[in-house]
Amino acid sequence: MQNSTPLAERMRPTSLDNYIGQKHIVGEGAILRNAIASNLLPSIILWGPPGVGKTTLANIIAHQLKRPFYALSAINSGVKDIREVIDRAKGNGMFQNNPILFIDEIHRFSKSQQDSLLGAVEKGTVTLIGATTENPSFEVISALLSRCQVYILKSLDKDDLLAMLDLAIKTDSFLKTKKITITEDEALLRLSGGDGRKLLNIFELVVNTIGGEDIQITNEKVTAIVQQNIAIYDKAGENHYDIISAFIKSIRGSDPNAAVYWLARMIEGGEDPKFIARRLVILASEDIGNANPTALVIATNCFQAVNVIGYPESRIILSQAVTYMAASAKSNAAYKAIESALEAVRNGGDLPVPLHLRNAPTKLMKDIGYGEDYKYAHGFENNFINQDYLPDSIKGMKFYEPGNNAREKEMREYLKRLWGDKYNY
């Protein structure tokens, strides 16, 4: 008989040895694993996308350290709930040190709610473990953030997800009674999006829908079943991430009608307007860039206005920014430039700064040639002089290639006039 507990919950590991993924922080010799082993765990923030094991990791830590464990969800907890838990933790602390307070979706706590945690965290009344899908630099107050170590959790990769499925098939009390063959796994992996909980929810839905003892899983079956039952496996709200993806791709694809539709879906779903506005700021540089620099100005002003105004009026501000950006010329040249430059840095290491570009604040530095041959651009015609600015070993390397739009074509021509063949794209 099938267990009524969801598969994702049945498969939740209870020790680091059974924990799948995040080897960069909990693998052998990794920093968080060492902190747990030495029982010197600071207050921490676990930042990562849904379904990568944040809640599971918090439970494992409490279990391995044998500490009292208190859990709150920022969605339905207030200052009163926080204070009650802290008072209980103080009482427990007389007999057992450092109770753990786990707060899921800590980014949804208001400033006053986060302020109410400060004293207990600072005094060590509790060890805080916060979980968030949002950048804590934006969502956690600086006073609290400075008292926590932030660990970034990554989306699970293909090997992690397949290992999770294999473990479920072999060890789950219900699944191991079946003969399950996964002949194709692409649809399962694609629909999961690196989210382990979503993968197990989809897998359980597919197994139950096919039924019988001998179950063959193919891409076609998975896709058909999930499309028919999308609300069933999306109980935890993972559809939120699909909608923001559709929203961003609609703006990138220059479709204001689709973009404002997905905006409306998020507004009706109660999405945090700051979450939407932040993504517009990122998109303004990543997908529009120098094709229309005004887009970044509008997105930044939108973010500031949304912070001041809030719903429902901020929907109008968001709509203006979204439709403007969707209708704007597009370029990812700035994004590609920094990615290319970062790759060069990682591959080339710390290349020396050319002598003529070095700062020379002391006589000794001047004597050995620092800054000696530097030519001050403003001292020449048109405020330009042809000299090298890159390290010697990568002279002439190109990172920024202006996009094929009116504004960046002007930039391209300007650079060609200045540099000649060096910027002859």
Which run of H or E residues covers position 304? helix 294-309
> Residue 425 pLDDT more than 70?
no
The answer to whether the CB of 44 falls within 8 A of the CB of 148 is yes
> Residue 391 pLDDT more than 60?
yes
Per-residue pLDDT band for 369 (boundaries 50, 70, 90) equals: confident
Residue 3: the pLDDT is: 62
Residue 88: the pLDDT is: 84
42-66 tens-digit pLDDT: 999 999 988 899 999 999 999 999 8
Distance in angstroms (rounded) separating the CA atoms of residues 350 and 25: 26
Residue 128: the pLDDT is: 94
Tell which CATH classification among 1.10.3470, 1.10.540, 1.10.8, 1.10.10 matches the domain 158-233: 1.10.8
> Residue 355 pLDDT more than 70?
yes
Residue 234: the pLDDT is: 45
| More confident of the two residues 296 and 233 | 296
Structure tokens at 295: 């887009």
The residue-averaged pLDDT of 269-291 equals 92
Per CATH, the homologous superfamily of domain 338-423 is DNA polymerase III clamp loader subunits, C-terminal domain (1.10.3710.10)
Distance in angstroms (rounded) separating the CA atoms of residues 383 and 386: 10
Residue 94: the pLDDT is: 47
The answer to whether the CB of 198 falls within 8 A of the CB of 50 is yes
Residue 93: the pLDDT is: 53
Both ends of the chain: CA-CA distance in Å?
67
| 268 CB neighbour count, 10 Å cutoff | 9
Residue 258: the pLDDT is: 93
Residue 382: the pLDDT is: 87
The residue-averaged pLDDT of 189-213 equals 90
Distance in angstroms (rounded) separating the CA atoms of residues 373 and 357: 8
Residue with tokens 């359980």: 204
Residue 239: the pLDDT is: 63
Residue 230: the pLDDT is: 56
Which of 335, 300, 322 has its CA nearest to residue 247? 322
Please provide the average confidence, as pLDDT, over all residues in the chain: 88
Per-residue pLDDT band for 236 (boundaries 50, 70, 90) equals: very low
Spatial neighbors of 292 by CB under 8 A, at least 6 apart, are: 328, 329, 407
Per CATH, the homologous superfamily of domain 22-152 is P-loop containing nucleotide triphosphate hydrolases (3.40.50.300)
- Helix, strand or coil, per DSSP, at residue 84: helix
The residue-averaged pLDDT of 197-205 equals 91
118-151 tens-digit pLDDT: 989 998 889 999 999 888 888 889 899 999 999 9
Residue 2: the pLDDT is: 57
> Residue 95 pLDDT more than 80?
no
| More confident of the two residues 367 and 31 | 31
pTM across the whole model: 0.64
Which run of H or E residues covers position 152? strand 149-152
Per-residue pLDDT band for 231 (boundaries 50, 70, 90) equals: very low
Residue 280: the pLDDT is: 97
Which run of H or E residues covers position 37? helix 31-37
> Residue 91 pLDDT more than 80?
no
Give the largest CA-CA distance in the chain. 84
The answer to whether the CB of 116 falls within 8 A of the CB of 82 is yes
Can you name the residues that pair with 215 across neighbouring β-strands?
180
Tell which CATH classification among 1.10.3720.10, 3.50.50.60, 1.20.272.10, 4.10.520.10 matches the domain 239-326: 1.20.272.10
The residue-averaged pLDDT of 381-409 equals 90
219-229 tens-digit pLDDT: 999 999 987 76
**Structural domain boundaries of the chain?**
22-152, 158-233, 239-326, 338-423
